[in-house]
Structure 1
Amino acid sequence: MLTVTKGTSLMGHTTRRLLTGALLVLAAGAGPGLAPGAAHAATGAAPQTSVAGRVRTTDGAVNVRSGPGLGNAVVRRMADGAAVRLVCAVPGDRVSGTVRTSALWDRLSDGRYISHAYVVSATLRTCPPPAPAPAPALTPDEFIAAAVPGARKSWREYGVPASVTIAQAILESGWGRSGLSSVDRNYFGIKCQGGYHGPHATGCHVYKTTECDKAGKCFETSDAFRTYASMARSFRDHGHFLKNNKRYAPAFAHTKDANKFISAVWKAGYATDPNYVAKVTKIMTRYDLYQYDTWK
């Protein structure tokens, strides 16, 4: 079954097998990927709605702040009985107020915050986490320098040659410019499976996709891809994924021979592109990635 992202590129210019066994097919010449807002709109989350609340205070006017904590700037003050429109709540500094003692801060409809300790309202939902900032575009030298620590750690933990990890990341993420890598630090397109995201990911991010079967019949669906706090975490999860998937066991007889390792991974069904090994080894040679295979 083929998976085609709708209106954007998730990965770099290669066709490969993902965790679930589906294939992610990309259009050649795709742009740098999703912008943060577009990426999170892809989850299909409902737009924010507000609920009515009222300030109750016997301590004088209550501060409205720029963020959910006492260290944030005061932007205005609200008197007892003032009406407020509330969107959601987030954890912050604990405050003992007129209504209650609470560590929650209510986000107002204008994006400001007021301590829940002074607000009477219906129960609020928890605010969704903010969209992560996209990773900055890097030059090839900058990308490789940033990649080396995580790739070497993956080698020490799981036995995947660092040169292989870096070259695959370059090929599959388009030097970190794909939507998955720039927004979610997912450089290999590894999916969540049944909500499981492994020991290195922070969670799952759902993207709308279009899937096509072998007969060419296509339909809209969605897939959850793993999200990471850093490039290094994504690289380590790549090693964990290969090491703990039995189909790739033969590759680990070649942990000190990068060319044989990637050849064995490809033969086990990692990628459908018949030129995949040649592409990876070309990158390893051109950028002298073998120098990072210290075997220490």
Structure 2
Amino acid sequence: MDRIDAMRAFVQVVQEGSFTQAANRLDTSPQLVSKYVSQLEQRLGVRLLNRTTRRVNLTEAGEGYYQSAQQVLADIEDMESQLGDLQADARGTLRISAPVSFAIHHMAPLLSAFQQAHPGVKVDLQLNDRKVDIVEEGFDIALRIGHLRSSSLIAKRIAPVRVVLCASPDYLQRHGSPEQPMDLIDHHYLHYSYMDPGLGGSALKCLQRNRQPLSMVSNNGDVLVAAAISGAGIALQPTFIAGAAIRKAQLQVVLPDYEPEPMALYAIYAHRQLLASKVRSFIDFIDGYFGDPPYWDEF
């Protein structure tokens, strides 16, 4: 027995005053309505209705159950209505995890435009370069940069991420501009401590075999790009951070023919089925937003 269907049948019988009229309202047979009510009484162990040939009347137990059943059915209808609204019109709080530097440089205009398009959505943006557990930590979406590995999560590729070696014109004038990867061995290397281990290439290997101690190590790419602009050494950084400085000639790309294989920006989320409208709306909105190639590569 479906408890909700039985409850609906009972409430309809009380409101209509007969099994036949209740069956008409529910678009079913009087026999099925009677069966539902009888099964409900058997389950509860009490008589809910006194039946006569002309009318049905509530018992004392039926009166109390009727009031409660009405409230339960109203709550269910309200809940379903709210869920329907969520699917029809994106609303609620959207929790997003994003890499620090990427978010600082590129997320504000995106989120502003998204909220103008979906004013019912409140955004909770948390910046972190570590790999968050979106399910355990309660995120709807995580933006991740790298080479995607197998996962039970759903991943949507958003944009390519180009990574370049770069240094200031002053540094290259003082130390020489490398012409092949082996020339990097004696250069000052500004190392990003969260560098994707899958980021290969002969240039990176030469930097990692640097004969001198690392000039600087940081877990923040903006710091390393700023250090490179000031002449501290050569940095291996994504163009979404370094692109503006390259465009202004504050940095020069080194060994462009030996760039590592491009990475990508992904939107990661937990489920493909029954996706909340706030999540689906954001995925649809961010897809193609940055361009391909993205605007930060225009230098």
TM-score (norm 2): 0.23
In our comparison, the structure showing a higher alpha carbon Rg is 2
TM-score (norm 1): 0.23
